[in-house]
Amino acid sequence: MVKNGAPAIFKLLANNLRWNILGHLTHSDMRVQELSALLHQPQNLVSYHLHKLHEHGLIVEHRSIADGREVYYGVNWGQIRNEFKTTETELHPGLVADPGAARSFFPYRVLFLCTHNSARSQMAEGFLRDKSHHQIQALSAGTDPLPVHPNAIQVMAEHQIDIHGQQSKGLEAFLSQQFDYVITVCDLARESCPTFPGNPVQIHWSIADPVSPSGASENHLQTFRATAAELEERVDYFLFGIRPAGKADP
């Protein structure tokens, strides 16, 4: 039986500007000035609605590691999923989709970029390759490459994904290649991302670098696990957001 009154999330997102802000953030993490330009709205108005979304836990903030004065906003996927699951089951249990259902994908080419290509981009590459059952060609590179971090290898092994054979690569090797998507997983890489041929879709995920010289090794490993969990969630939603093979554009 449907309860009286619309769920709070529907009331919050009934505002068109908030809905459009959230829609843009499901595609890429952005700064307030970027959202303002995309939506053709005053920056103070966009900031107000970002505050409302953040207040209700639907978005998260990440201060840029490249310029501490800048703040990136991104979707809190877990909170939104829980909110919508509640409304789905309340309206009708049959609306809850099976995320484990087998799907086929076009052979997209996706490049993940970060600074050192030692952790975040390597893990993202492994997740996308595995979750697309190798149908998508996942690659990664760094603006200042370093060897793949052993903690990244260990944490991905905990997910039954073997990345020990992946090599760190410089961005220069890919500048002339065409990709369908270029995904930056580092603020530094995003803010210095070059132009690629073929006009690929560019997406940014503002994810903190798990590689830190300080702290106990176990805490360091926990940081890698948290980063892997965030990347896995991001990759899952990325796959749900792209057109699968055999399905025409709407």
The set of residues, in sequence order, having a beta carbon less than 8 Å from that of 218 and lying 6+ positions away, is none
Q: Note whether 54 and 118 are same-domain residues.
A: no
Residue 103, domain member (yes or no): no
Q: Note whether 51 and 141 are same-domain residues.
A: no
Q: Which residue has the higher pLDDT, 247 or 250?
A: 247
Alpha helices (H) along the chain:
8-13, 16-27, 32-39, 43-55, 77-91, 120-131, 150-158, 187-190, 217-241
- pLDDT tens for each residue of 36-69: 999 999 999 999 999 999 999 999 999 998 898 9
List the catalytic residues: 114, 186, 193
| Residue 1 binned pLDDT confidence (cut-offs 50, 70, 90) | very low
Which pLDDT value is given to residue 128?
A: 97
Residue 85, domain member (yes or no): yes
Give the predicted TM-score (pTM) of the model: 0.79
Q: Note whether 84 and 113 are same-domain residues.
A: no
Phi-psi domain of 178 (left: phi exceeds 0; alpha: psi -120 through 50; beta: other): beta
By C-alpha distance, which of 174, 151, 153, 175 is closest to 162? 153
- pLDDT tens for each residue of 135-186: 999 999 999 999 999 999 999 999 999 999 999 999 999 999 999 999 999 9
The amino acid occupying position 79 is Q
The whole-angstrom separation of Cα 11 and Cα 219 is 40
User: What residue numbers bound the domain in which 83 lies?
Assistant: 8-95
Q: Note whether 118 and 68 are same-domain residues.
A: no
Q: Note whether 85 and 120 are same-domain residues.
A: no
Q: Note whether 78 and 137 are same-domain residues.
A: no
Q: Note whether 81 and 152 are same-domain residues.
A: no
What's the structural domain count of the chain?
Answer: 2
Q: What is the CATH number of the domain that holds 160?
A: 3.40.50.2300
Q: Note whether 20 and 85 are same-domain residues.
A: yes
Residue 139, domain member (yes or no): yes
Q: Note whether 72 and 128 are same-domain residues.
A: no
User: Is the per-residue pLDDT at 110 higher than 80?
Assistant: yes
